[in-house]
Amino acid sequence: MNLYKLKIYKLKSKIFIAVFFMLYILGFTLTPLALAATDFTASGIAISVTINDKNAQDGSIVASTNNGYILSKIPYDPSMFGVITANPAIVIENTAGGTANNKFIVSSGKAYILVSTQNGPIKKDDFITSSSIPGVGQKADHNGYVLATALEDYSNSNPKAVGKILASINSRYNNTFVDSQTNLLSILQTAGSATFLSPLATLRYLLAGVVAAMAFALGFIYFGRVASKGVEALGRNPLASRMIQASVIINVLLAGLIVLVGLAIAYLILVL
């Protein structure tokens, strides 16, 4: 009798294990289909916040300020928080104070984002940042704050037209662009954002900014001295005006060379 019960027990155990594995495999098979059948417009966890702006819609870029959440309207906005999504997969909702103006915002994961060609056509894997159009993104082409990476192409001959593409949301400071046309102002602006960079990048940008500023300062100081001495020389000896003018021109070229050498050194610091 005990042997019979033991066989029954083993049989039930085998059936249980077989059913468990069948359900397990079936679950993995059907889960993607179930997710595909739903109408989720964003992955990741969304939070519910209040935005008092009638233009806020699915895909709008939102910035976090001291006065609450608003549509971002500053290019490369350091206050960018995330993207409004109409139908997120997971929501953490705050019902305090009512939900009339509440919107769901995703700050990481995949979501659809409003974009324009204000800064040129967008290709897959391009960085997307905020623009001067409230809530609308654009292609990022120099260092600064970016919100997402494009997962689709977008082009439109009208730079003011607004479209929507899928993007990977990950707000951060980007410093991967190296532009040979970088000017002193952009170098100093990037150096001013050093708090948000890695230690090595901080050192590079600060050093490049200092070198560029010193080059301009030395160039202008040298130019000022040459110009004043040239005027004095012409006053003392008008007959040698051609020689004095040639000397002034040569020294002005040297002043320009000092500036160019300083900018070249700053550029090498950024590249190397």
My answer on whether 54 and 139 are in the same domain is yes
CATH number of domain containing 96: 2.40.300.10
pLDDT tens per residue, range 82-107? 999 988 877 777 655 556 678 889 98
Total number of domains in the chain: 3
**Per-residue confidence (pLDDT) for residue 258, from 0 to 100:** 77
My answer on whether 117 and 191 are in the same domain is no
Report how far residue 29's alpha carbon sits from residue 36's, in angstroms, rounded to the nearest whole number. 12
Q: Tell me if 9 is assigned to some domain.
A: yes
My answer on whether 156 and 225 are in the same domain is no
My answer on whether 193 and 233 are in the same domain is yes
pLDDT tens per residue, range 38-74? 455 667 788 888 888 888 999 999 998 888 899 999 9
**Per-residue confidence (pLDDT) for residue 29, from 0 to 100:** 45
Domain span at residue 138 reads 42-174
pLDDT band for position 183 (cuts 50, 70, 90): low
**Per-residue confidence (pLDDT) for residue 175, from 0 to 100:** 74
My answer on whether 49 and 122 are in the same domain is yes
My answer on whether 47 and 165 are in the same domain is yes
My answer on whether 78 and 160 are in the same domain is yes
More confident call, 208 vs 231? 208
**Residue 55 phi/psi, 5° resolution?**
-85, -5
Q: Tell me if 216 is assigned to some domain.
A: yes
Report how far residue 154's alpha carbon sits from residue 4's, in angstroms, rounded to the nearest whole number. 71
Residue 181 has pLDDT above 60, yes or no: no
My answer on whether 158 and 87 are in the same domain is yes
My answer on whether 167 and 248 are in the same domain is no
Report how far residue 213's alpha carbon sits from residue 221's, in angstroms, rounded to the nearest whole number. 12
CATH number of domain containing 204: 1.20.20.10
My answer on whether 127 and 198 are in the same domain is no
Beta strands per DSSP E along 93-229:
102-106, 108-115, 127-130, 137-139, 144-150, 163-174
Q: Tell me if 179 is assigned to some domain.
A: no
At residue 100's C-alpha, the angle toward residues 94 and 102, to 5°, is: 45
Residue 122 has pLDDT above 70, yes or no: yes
Q: Tell me if 130 is assigned to some domain.
A: yes
My answer on whether 153 and 69 are in the same domain is yes
My answer on whether 29 and 146 are in the same domain is no
pTM of this structure: 0.56
Report how far residue 162's alpha carbon sits from residue 47's, in angstroms, rounded to the nearest whole number. 25
Of 120, 145, 174, the position where a domain reaches its end is 174
User: What average pLDDT does the segment 261-272 reach?
Assistant: 74
